[in-house]
Structure formats: C-alpha cells, structure tokens
C-alpha cells in the first residue's frame, strides 16, 4: 500500500498550535486601550523640506497606549486592507493574524482584506477577503505566500488617484502597509495624499526588514531580523565547525544587508568568526578597498605563522557602498545611468556599456571604474530596483576581496613575508533567511505589531508606524503605541532626484553592541573561538527558545 504524502511538515503542525503572547496593554482588546498623545515631532533631518512635502501629516505627536475603558471607537464596523510590500521577512503572516484578531475582537463585523501581490494589488484592485478559515493554516509560518508581496512603488499622480478610487470603490476605511523604509515612506505619501483629498481614511505602517536598518528609539528592531540572523548563524556556525575540522580553507561569507551591517554584526556575535567587516566603520575611517584587503591579509599572515591556514570572514552585502571611493562611484553611476538610460540600453555588450558610461563620469571615478574587474563593473551597472537602489545582492564583493587578497599574498610570498597557503571558498546567505518559520520572538513580535496596528487604525491614527518596544523584556511587558512616519524621514538622492525617505539606521559605532564587538574581535581573529548556535529552537528552556538578539541585549543592558 502506497504511503500517503503530506503537505505540511511535523514542525508546521506543531507551530500551528503556538499561541503568541500579547503585551498586557493589548490583551483585552482595543476597547480597553486609550491612546495618549506625547510630544509633537519633527523629522530627523531636512525639516523644512519634509514639512513642505507632508503638509497634512507632518508634526504629529507620539502616541502611547495606556489602559482605558469602553473606548467607543470599536462600535463602528470598519473595513481594513493590508498589503505586504518589498522583500519577505519571517513573521509577515503573524502580522496579518494579529491585525485580523485585533479587528475581530474589537467588533466581529469588522472586515479585513489582503491586496494581492504587493502594492500592484492596490492599483489593480485585486484582493481577497481574509477569514479565519483561510488564515488558520498560515499562523506562525514563514513567507508572504498568503497574499504575496511586490516592489511596485506608488508615486505618480495617476497612481495616487487610482489608489484613492480603488479604496473608495472597495469601501476600504484603512490601509495597513507592511514594509521597510521605502515601503513605509510610500505609506506616508499615500496618507498625505488622502488627507490632501480630504478623505477620512487611515494609513498605518508596520516595520519589516531582515536587514535591521529600520530602527530607532521607538522601533527597536524590525521584524524578521531575529529569525534571519538565527538562520544565518546556524549556517555560519556549521562552516566554522567545518573549517576547524578540515583546517585548510578560508571561507568568505557574504550576508544580506543592503544598507547597513546589522546582520553581519549580529551573526558575528552568535558565531565569533575570525573577521567581521563592518561597513559603517569602514565609512567612518574612510578606508579604501586596498586598506580593507591589507587588514584581511594581516590576519591571514598572522594565522599562517601558527600553521592556521584557515578561517572565516563575514562580509556585509552592502560593503561596497560603504567604501568612500566606491560610494562616490555608485552615486555617480546612479545619476549617469538615469540620465543616459536609453543610450545605455542600446549598447549590447557589457564592455561597450562600461566604456560608454566611463565617458560620463569624472576622471578619477572613470579611472576607478576601469580598474575594477569586468565582472564587478558589470554588476555595478545592473538595472536598479524600483526604489532606485543598486542591487547589491548581485554584486559579488566577496570574490573581489578574494581576488585582491590572493594578489597581495602572492606579492608577500615573493618578498618572503608569507609562507602559508591560501585557498578560498565563497558563500552568499541571503534568500535562505527571508522566509524561515519565525522564531518565538518574531512570532510574538509580529503578532503584537499587527494587533497594535489594528488599535491605531480603529482610533483613526493615520500616518503612524506601529511601535512595540522594551523588547528585551518578556512580551507581556512590551510597550505599545505609534510614531509618526514623517518623524523618521530625511531627504536622499534617488535616480538623480531628491526624494523623502525614512532614514536608514546604521550600526552605531558609539553604541554598546559595536563596542562589545571591538573588545572581542582581536581575540576572535587569531583563535578558534567559534560558537555553534545550531538551528532555531522552538521548544525547550526559555533561555534557549525565547532569547532576543545579542544586539538588543547589549543595547538595553544600559537601561
């Protein structure tokens, strides 16, 4: 008799039984929550420009939730839409679950719909009505496959008008945008447009990105960061154990993180490899790529003198954008490619495109472009993403480093200053971490963010980002509320034009996490202090299953 195939794993079955822990302030529903206004806010930079763009939602107060009674906002039934925007992050489905439960507990007549395929679903008015029957199989799961995601950006007058018309046509009272810095900037733009049009519709954001770069005092971490770094740490830990077993290879591991090195730093804490490159430090010290290579070579040579021709190097995905000379080149390329898009598109060969674009760059940047290996130069000229960013996940920085390290070691060998062996292996861990089953922390955090967003929506608090904080404490003690989206914004140059965008949070070189790293990295460099965290633990002692990131631990140890 043939065995019956199953469509879910044993772990999936168990995770369906997991019940997220709500913060105490939310556990009795929106009717028992009172929003309290705090200080009036302003943007983190470029205040006059941001205020001019967001005339209707700029300067909103901070919102903190306190205990209340019989909040009348739950009496009117509302229809809320949710959209997943940008790249995936573990826990997205629990945001939807928390939002759904928060709405239904407040009023069983409330309706939640999910736009399909990201923001394009809003423009095409494609959605599904979310029911408990549809949602139950997605609780505590990874991925965004319930309603899918997308990177369409709503930015033209025609798109804003279409968004308005579709919200009106579907009788949607509020829109919840789950996304990163660019997606939540887009949420603010939609909120501003609807206010300008004098429509009583609410737009609320939820902070999502595994990169960890959407954070501040009120957004202590973006969801998915905890799970993704645990997944990467298992893989890097396995490599550390392998390298210590074979003792003959140098592994260069590139980790996701487009604009900040938070992932590399956290995985560094969890595994303690020999070298962890932090882009923000490289930028602060204005290090050229030659200097970075010399630092790596210095560790390789010192280890070889102890007959240790092996090690592990962590490279943040966005490293190339932190190197000042490369940062200038990329910025110039962004403008040159935008201004000469048609001409570049008409050139068939990569060499021809490189030759043409070099004529559009300042002399020193043109020389730098010409000096790069053809593969890296071609990758720098790839099409930008819809937000105008270089697709750094396609730039193989680790291979560039290996090529330059190998060349430097060969020179040292000729000078009789290096007698070791250098064999390198490359890895890129990126998409492996984006759709993992969320850790207990992320399952709790995302559910709370969604439920919290429901309370913001029911109170008509448009232009806010769902904020759940004090995350190093137990979930019951987490604090909830909202912060204005405009509070996090500055002006950046995108596709040759100045655009408002939520400011990217970089690794703080004066913060406790980085200081802790600096205190330990010299020891890690020359020893085998490797840690092997293993896979995510969902069941067992709380010290193992419910721990937060090392980053949060170090940041909040000062409080």
443 close to 140: Cβ distance less than 8 angstroms: yes
Q: What is the pLDDT of residue 389?
A: 63
Angle at 335 between CA 334 and CA 337, to 5 degrees: 70
Report yes or no on 179 lying in a domain. yes
3-state SS of 270-292?
HHCCCEECCHHHHHHCCCCHHHH
Backbone phi, then psi, for 506, in 5-degree steps? -90, 165
Record the pTM. 0.92
472 vs 495: which has the higher pLDDT:
472
Tell me if 55 sits within 8 A of 192, measured CB to CB.
yes
For 489, phi then psi, to 5°, come to -95, 155
Span 158-197, pLDDT tens digits: 999 999 999 999 999 999 999 999 999 999 999 999 999 9
Q: Answer yes or no: is pLDDT of 4 > 50.
A: yes
Q: What percent of the chain has pLDDT over 70?
A: 96
Whether 465 and 480 map to the same domain: the answer is yes
CATH number of the domain that residue 82 is part of:
3.40.50.450
Same domain, 325 and 209: no
Integer Cα distance of 489 and 52 in angstroms: 13
Question: Which positions make up the binding site for substrate?
Answer: 209-211, 248-249, 256-258, 317, 431-434
Whether residue 97 contacts residue 454, with contact meaning beta carbons closer than 8 Å, is answered with no
**Chain position carrying tokens 């004090």:** 470
Q: Which of 69-83, 380-394, 421-435 has the lowest mean pLDDT?
A: 380-394
Task: Return the residue matching tokens 């966005």.
Answer: 318
Count up the domains in the chain and report the number.
2
For residue 486, pLDDT over 70 is answered with: yes
Q: Could you tell me which residues are annotated as the binding site?
A: 87, 181, 209-211, 248-249, 256-258, 317, 431-434
CB 149 within 8 A of CB 177: no
**Residue recorded with tokens 């730098």:** 368
Q: Judge whether 243 lies within some domain.
A: yes
β-pair type (202-207, 250-255):
unpaired
Cα separation, 210 vs 223, whole angstroms = 7
Residue 19 resides in a domain? no
Confidence at 1, pLDDT banded by 50, 70, 90? very low
Identify whether the C-beta of residue 115 lies closer than 8 Å to the C-beta of residue 122: yes
More confident residue, 384 or 448: 448
pLDDT band at 384 (very low <50, low <70, confident <90, very high): low
**In a shared domain, residues 242 and 330:** yes
164: domain range?
Answer: 36-224+438-494
* Cβ-count burial 275-311 (b if 16+ within 10 Å, e if not): bbbbbbbbbeeebebeebbeebbebbbebbeeebbbb
Read off the pLDDT band of 337 (50, 70, 90): confident
Write down how long the chain is: 559
The reply to whether 249 falls in a domain is: yes
Tokens of 557: 């140890």
Residue 251 shares a structural domain with residue 396: yes
Rounded Cα distance, 453 and 176, in Å? 7
Q: What is the mean predicted confidence (pLDDT) over 86-113? A: 97
Residue 531: left if φ>0, alpha if ψ -120 to 50, beta else—which one? beta
* Catalytic residue from among 101, 173, 182, 211: 211
Assess whether pLDDT exceeds 70 at residue 476.
yes
| Predicted confidence (pLDDT) at residue 559 exceeds the cutoff of 60 | no
Residue 338: what pLDDT?
82
Q: Which of 435, 538, 437, 487 is nearest to 185 (CA)?
A: 487
| 381/458 same-domain check | no
pLDDT of residue 558: 60
> Are β-strands 149-150 and 79-85 bridged in parallel, bridged antiparallel, or unpaired?
parallel
Distance CA 538, CA 256 (A): 24
Indicate which CATH number applies to the domain containing 419. 3.40.50.460
Task: Provide the mean pLDDT of the chain.
Answer: 93
Distance in angstroms (rounded) separating the CA atoms of residues 310 and 313: 10
Does the residue 365 lie in any domain? Answer: yes
State whether residue 14 is helix, strand or coil. helix
Looking only at Cα atoms, what is the longest distance across the chain?
Answer: 81
**386 and 443, same structural domain?**
no
Identify the burial level of 13 via C-beta atoms within 10 angstroms of its C-beta, where 0-12 means exposed, 13-18 middle and 19 or more buried.
Answer: exposed
- The verdict on residue 123 lying in a domain is yes
Q: What is the pLDDT of residues 188-243, one digit of tens each?
A: 999 999 999 999 999 999 999 999 999 998 999 999 999 999 999 999 999 999 99
Q: Which of 84-98, 287-301, 343-357 has the lowest mean pLDDT?
A: 343-357
Residue 3, pLDDT above cutoff 70: no
Tokens, residue 228: 């993704």
Query: In this structure, are 238 and 273 located in the same domain?
Result: yes
Q: How far apart are CA 375 and CA 359, in angstroms?
A: 19
Cα-Cα end-to-end distance for the chain: 62
Residues 469 and 427 in one domain: no
Q: What is the mean pLDDT of residues 140-160?
A: 96
Q: How confident is the model over 506-544, as pLDDT tens digits? A: 999 999 999 999 999 999 999 999 999 999 999 999 989
Query: Position of tokens 């020359």?
Result: 526
Q: Is 546 a catalytic residue?
A: no
Query: Is the domain of 200 the same as that of 325?
Result: no
SS3 118: coil
pLDDT at 19 over 60: yes
Query: What tokens does 203 get?
Result: 């737009």
Q: Which residue, 94, 83, 186, is CA-closest to 442? A: 94
As a whole number of angstroms, the distance between CA 508 and CA 221 comes to 14
Residue found under tokens 């000096």 = 371
A 10 A CB-CB count for 547 gives 18
> Residue 253 pairs with which residues in a beta bridge?
314, 427
Residue 410 makes CB contacts below 8 A (sequence gap 6+) with: none
Backbone angles phi, psi at 515, to 5 degrees: -60, -40
Q: Is residue 213 part of a domain?
A: yes
d(CA 247, CA 457) in angstroms, rounded, equals 56
- The band of 373, judged by pLDDT with boundaries at 50, 70 and 90, is confident
From residue 499, give the alpha-carbon distance in Å to each of 53, 183, 209, 274, 387.
Answer: 10, 13, 20, 39, 10
Q: What is the dihedral of CA 293, 297, 299, 302, to 10 degrees?
A: -160
The whole-angstrom separation of Cα 26 and Cα 467 is 13
Task: Identify whether residues 200 and 307 lie together within a single domain.
Answer: no
Q: What is the DSSP letter of 89?
A: -
The reply to whether 344 falls in a domain is yes
Residue 398 pLDDT greater than 50, yes or no? yes
**Residues with Cβ within 8 Å of residue 103, at least 6 apart in sequence:** 78, 80, 110, 111, 112, 454, 457, 458
Based on the fold, state whether residues 485 and 516 are members of the same structural domain. no
Q: Determine what percent of the chain is predicted with pLDDT higher than 90.
A: 81
Per-residue model confidence (pLDDT) at position 387:
55
Do 417 and 447 fall within a single domain? no
The mean pLDDT of 300-326, rounded to a whole number, is: 95
Residues belonging to the binding site for diphosphate are 87
């Amino acid at each position: 008799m043939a065995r019956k195939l199953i469509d879910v794993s044993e772990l999936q079955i168990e995770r369906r039984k997991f019940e997220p822990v709500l913060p105490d302030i939310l556990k009795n529903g929106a009717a028992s929550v009172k929003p309290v206004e705090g200080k009036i806010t302003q943007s983190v930079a470029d205040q006059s420009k941001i205020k001019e763009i967001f005339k209707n939602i700029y300067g909103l107060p901070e919102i903190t939730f306190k205990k209340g009674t019989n909040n009348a906002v739950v009496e009117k039934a509302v229809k809320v839409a949710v959209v997943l925007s940008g790249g995936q992050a573990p826990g997205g489905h629990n945001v939807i679950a928390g939002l759904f439960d928060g709405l239904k507990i407040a009023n069983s007549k409330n309706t939640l719909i999910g736009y399909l395929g990201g923001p394009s679903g809003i423009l095409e008015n494609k959605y599904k009505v979310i029911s408990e029957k549809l949602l139950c199989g997605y609780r505590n799961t990874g991925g965004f496959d319930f309603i899918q995601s997308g990177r369409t950006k709503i930015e033209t007058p025609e798109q804003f008008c279409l968004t308005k018309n579709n919200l009106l046509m579907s009788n949607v009272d509020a829109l919840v945008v789950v996304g990163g810095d660019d997606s939540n900037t887009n949420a603010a733009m939609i909120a501003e447009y609807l206010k300008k049009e004098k429509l009583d519709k609410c737009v609320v954001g939820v902070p999502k990105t595994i990169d960890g770069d959407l954070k501040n005092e009120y957004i202590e971490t973006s969801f998915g960061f905890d799970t993704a770094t645990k997944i990467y740490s298992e893989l890097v830990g396995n490599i550390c154990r392998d390298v210590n077993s074979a003792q003959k290879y140098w592994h260069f591991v590139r980790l996701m993180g487009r604009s900040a090195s938070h992932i590399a730093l956290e995985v560094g804490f969890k595994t303690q490899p020999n070298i962890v490159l932090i882009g923000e430090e490289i930028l602060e010290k204005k290090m050229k790529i030659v200097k970075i290579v010399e630092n790596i070579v210095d560790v390789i040579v010192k280890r070889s003198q102890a007959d240790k021709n092996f090690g592990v190097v962590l490279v943040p995905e966005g490293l190339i954008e932190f190197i000042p000379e490369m940062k200038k080149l990329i910025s110039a390329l962004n403008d040159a490619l935008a201004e000469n898009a048609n001409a570049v598109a008409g050139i068939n060969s990569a060499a021809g495109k490189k030759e043409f674009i070099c004529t559009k760059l300042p002399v020193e940047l043109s020389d730098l472009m010409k000096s790069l290996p053809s593969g890296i130069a071609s990758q720098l000229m790839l099409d930008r993403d819809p937000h105008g960013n270089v697709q750094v996940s396609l730039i193989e920085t680790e291979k560039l480093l290996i090529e330059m390290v190998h060349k430097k070691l060969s020179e040292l060998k000729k000078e009789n200053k290096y007698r070791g062996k250098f064999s390198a292996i490359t890895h890129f861990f990126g998409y492996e971490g984006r759709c993992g089953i969320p850790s207990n922390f992320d399952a709790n955090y995302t559910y709370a963010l969604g439920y919290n967003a429901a309370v913001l929506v029911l109170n008509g608090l448009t232009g806010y980002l769902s904020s759940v904080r004090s995350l190093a404490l137990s979930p019951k003690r987490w604090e909830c509320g909202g912060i204005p989206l405009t509070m996090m914004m500055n002006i950046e140059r995108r596709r040759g034009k100045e655009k408002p965008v939520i400011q990217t949070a970089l690794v703080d070189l004066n913060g406790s996490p980085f200081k802790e790293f600096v205190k330990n990295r010299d020891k890690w460099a020359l020893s085998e202090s490797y840690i092997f965290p293993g896979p995510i633990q969902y069941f067992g002692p709380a010290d193992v299953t419910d721990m937060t990131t090392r980053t949060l631990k170090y940041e909040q140890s000062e409080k």
